[in-house]
Every structure is written in C-alpha cells, then in structure tokens.
C-alpha cells in the first residue's frame, strides 16, 4: 500500500481523551513520546481534557510547553469520552492516527506493533484485542453483556468485548469518521460500520495506572442505551414481534377461557377475560410507545444540529 506524506509532514498522531486521570498525564506523555519516537520523529500527541474535575489541564499545558509535539484541547464541559475523541480526530494531522484511552490499561509501547501490522501488511485499520481483562468481575460482566447485546442488535459482530478503542487507522478512514457528525458518538462503532477490512493485534490488558473509572453503572446503562438507539432500529422490530406474541397469547388465553366458561361456568361473567385483555394490551402499548419515544428523542437531538463539542481552550492557539 502506497501512502503519500501529509502537507505538514506529520506521519503519526495519537489522540487520547483525559478525564479523572490527572495522575496518568505525565506518565502517559512520557511513554507515548518514547513509543512514537521508535516509529518516527514526525508525530504529535493530542490530549483532550473533557472538563476533568481534577484540573488535568494544567498538567497538559505544562507538557505542551515542554514538548511542542504534545498538543492539548480543553472542552467547556464534560461531553463524554467519544465526543472528546472526535475533538482530537478533528485536529489530527497525521497520515496515521492512533486512538487510545489515557488510563494506560493499554500500553503505549504496543503502538509500534500496530503501525507495523498496518504498514507492512497493507491494512487501513488495525485494532487491539485484549487477551485478558484486568478489571473487576462486575465491570467485566457489564462489558460482556453490553457487547453481546450491541452485537445482536447492530449486527457488528467484530465488537465482542475484547476489542478496545485502542487502534490505528489511516487518514482515509479517519476522514470518513470525521465526516460522520452524528450527536451519538462511538468510535469503534463508526469504524466497523464503515466496513473497511480490519486486522487485529493481541495486546495485554493492564490494571489502571491511577485513579478510578468515571463510568458508574447508571452512566454505562445510559451510554449503552444511546449507542444502541443510534446504531440500530432492531429494538423497534422486536417491539412489533413482542406485540404480535402478546396479541397471540391474549387471543389464545381468551379462547381457552371461553371454552372453560362453556364447560364449567363462572361466577363473575366477563371479568377475567377483560382483565387479561387489558393487561396484555396496556403492557405492549406502553413498551412500544416508550421505545418509539426514545427514537423520537434521538431524532430531536440530531435535528437540533448542535455542535458535538465546544472548545474552551487549546494549545493549538498558543
């Protein structure tokens, strides 16, 4: 695969969103610059401060002052991990772009392996695949359940819980992702939805370098709901199927009750059949209307056309 140099000469960009990871910033920058230097001296690192409450921005600014290859973007408020990734991708200038989390659970030292896999074998995209998760059992279970559900509802079978945000993609792929300006953001989902052939590299998963994850159980549920609604209409199909099953069940139950009354009689004529019909009908109506309402809400968010993120400050302006 032949690739031409970018006009500004940047070969490699690393994008990493930063939130609740103040104690990771210095270590992250040190290891990233060392790893990228093994590939080229024409690289840049873009750290996106997603309104971190620990004031990680001052550390990012300090790193940017020490090394001009390190850039910082500070968002006005917390927009979310994948919105922060989008901010980084919008400013990335490299011919190849790496996306990785800031908690160092995926080692920056794996970047040369990803780059070598892509360039030597001619892949436009290479993703890291975890061999063994180092999270607690509850987070691991949450992840497995989400990805199984997500895979079923979206038919994106590649996302099975072992694939992370960590990966490298060519400028051709990144430009396509940047062009997708949907309000709901999910970087791996965009990547696999585009359909570019993707290779994988097995990497070791490490314990978090410092701090705690910002994803609470409720946040994970909300994030999962938004992603699924953005990528699939299958829940609506399932509602229709559920409605058909419930209606069939109500009909069969009503028929069975009719013959029961003929054979054995009843003391309260009509009451059981009425309650059965009401309970089945109301239940399926509420479920279906609720699902439709969620999709209408997503449509409302999209048609507003609000920006995906808002930048408060950037070292690009310095």
What's the pLDDT tens digit per position in 236-254?
A: 777 777 777 777 777 787 7
Prediction pTM value: 0.78
pLDDT of residue 300: 81
Is residue 179 over pLDDT 80? Answer: yes
Is residue 155 over pLDDT 70? Answer: no
pLDDT of residue 63: 95
pLDDT of residue 94: 96
Distance CA 19, CA 48 (A): 9
Is residue 160 over pLDDT 70? Answer: no
Most confident of 124-133, 139-148, 216-225: 124-133
Kindly give, in sequence order, each residue whose CB lies less than 8 Å from that of residue 210, ignoring residues fewer than 6 positions away.
Answer: 21, 22, 23, 24, 27, 103
Distance set, CA 26 to CA 84, 87, 120, 257, 282 (Å): 19, 21, 31, 72, 57
Kindly give, in sequence order, each residue whose CB lies less than 8 Å from that of residue 133, ignoring residues fewer than 6 positions away.
Answer: 140, 143, 205
Determine the average pLDDT of the residues in 147-164: 71
From 90, 66, 118, select the one nearest 17 (Cα to Cα): 90
Cβ 35 vs Cβ 69: under 8 Å: no
Is residue 28 over pLDDT 90? Answer: yes
pLDDT of residue 244: 76
State what percent of residues in the chain have pLDDT above 90.
Answer: 42
Count the alpha carbons within 13 Å of 20 in the hemisphere toward its beta carbon. 10
More confident: 308 or 231: 308
Antiparallel, parallel or unpaired: β 163-170 and 125-130? antiparallel
Is residue 114 over pLDDT 90? Answer: yes
How buried is 131 (Cβ within 10 angstroms: 0-12 exposed, 13-18 middle, 19+ buried)? exposed
More confident: 141 or 215: 141
Kindly give, in sequence order, each residue whose CB lies less than 8 Å from that of residue 225, ignoring residues fewer than 6 positions away.
Answer: 294
């Amino acid at each position: 695969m032949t690739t031409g140099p970018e006009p500004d000469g940047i070969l490699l960009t690393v994008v990493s969103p930063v939130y609740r990871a103040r104690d990771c910033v210095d270590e992250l920058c040190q290891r990233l610059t060392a790893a990228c230097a093994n590939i080229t001296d024409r690289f840049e690192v873009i750290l996106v401060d997603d309104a971190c409450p620990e004031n990680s921005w001052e550390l990012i600014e300090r790193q940017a002052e020490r090394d001009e290859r390190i850039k910082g973007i500070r968002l006005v408020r917390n927009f979310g991990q994948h919105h922060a990734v989008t901010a980084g991708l919008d400013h990335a200038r490299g011919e190849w772009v790496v996306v990785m989390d800031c908690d160092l659970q995926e080692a920056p030292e794996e970047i040369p392996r990803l780059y070598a896999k892509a360039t030597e074998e001619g892949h436009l995209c290479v993703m890291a695949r975890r061999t063994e998760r180092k999270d607690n059992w509850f987070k691991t279970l949450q992840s497995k359940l989400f990805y199984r559900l997500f895979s079923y509802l979206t038919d994106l079978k590649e996302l099975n819980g072992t694939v992370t945000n960590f990966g490298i993609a060519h400028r051709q792929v990144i430009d396509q992702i940047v062009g997708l300006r949907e309000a709901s953001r999910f970087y791996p989902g965009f990547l696999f939805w585009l359909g570019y052939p993707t290779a994988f590299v097995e990497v070791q998963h490490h314990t978090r370098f410092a701090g705690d994850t910002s994803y609470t159980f409720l946040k994970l549920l909300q994030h999962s709901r938004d992603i699924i609604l953005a990528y699939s209409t299958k829940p609506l199909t399932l509602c229709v199927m559920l409605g058909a099953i419930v209606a069939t069940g109500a009909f069969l139950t009503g028929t069975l009750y009719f013959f029961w009354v003929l054979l054995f009689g009843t003391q309260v004529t009509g009451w059981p059949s009425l309650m059965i019909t009401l309970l089945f009908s109301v239940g399926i109506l509420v479920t279906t209307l609720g699902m439709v309402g969620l999709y209408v809400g997503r449509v409302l968010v999209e048609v507003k056309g609000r920006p995906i993120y808002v930048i408060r400050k950037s070292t690009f302006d310095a």
